[in-house]
Amino acid sequence: MVSHEVEEGEDDDRRSRINKKRSIDSTPSSSRKSKKEAKGVGEKMANQIDHLIEVVATRQLGDEESTRSTPTIIDCIKRLDAMDQVNSGSELYFYAVDLFSKKNYRMTFMGFEKPDVRLKWLQQMYAMEHSLE
């Protein structure tokens, strides 16, 4: 009797495993696909996030480099002070300082290597603005 009960218990276990296997096998393929698709979507999202991080890092680096390469107002004033032809406190001096508030004028002023060219540019800028008044 005990051996018969053990056999029946084993049969029940075997049937249970077979039924579980059938239920797994009978899972619609769309359900399996959606799990695969979800995994694929997750990988795509991870790749996109990685790409965004790279883009942001690159932009930040670019901003830092452009900030370093753009002369500051202080840089321009130091170069202006080094020019013997422009008297500190003169109308031309303060006009130049006012020009330096704009990035493109700072870059232009600092771009001239020779002091006499810088002076000529400042004088022309001053003359153009004052001839309009």
Task: Domain ranges for the chain, please list them.
Answer: 19-69, 73-131
Q: Which amino acid is at 46?
A: A
In the predicted model, is pLDDT for residue 37 greater than 80?
Answer: no
Q: Which long-range contacts (CB under 8 A, 24 or more apart) does 86-92 make?
A: 86/119, 86/122, 91/126, 92/122, 92/123, 92/126
Within the chain, where are the H helices?
2-25, 29-69, 73-81, 91-99, 103-111, 115-131
Q: Please give the distance of CA 68 from its chain centroid, rounded to a whole number.
A: 17
With bands split at pLDDT 50, 70 and 90, how would you rate the model's confidence at 21? Answer: low
* Mean pLDDT confidence for 98-115: 95
Cα–Cα distance, 86 to 76 (Å, whole number): 13
Query: How many CA atoms within 13 Å lie on the side-chain side of 10?
Result: 6
Is the confidence at residue 36, as pLDDT, over 60? Answer: yes
Q: Over the Cα atoms of the chain, what is R_g?
A: 39
Out of 13-17, 42-46, 56-60, 97-101, least confident range: 13-17
Residue of 69 and 120 predicted with greater confidence: 120
Q: Are 85 and 92 in contact (CB under 8 A)?
A: no
**Do residues 73 and 106 lie in contact, with contact meaning Cβ atoms separated by under 8 Å?**
yes
As a whole number, mean pLDDT of residues 95-103 equals: 96
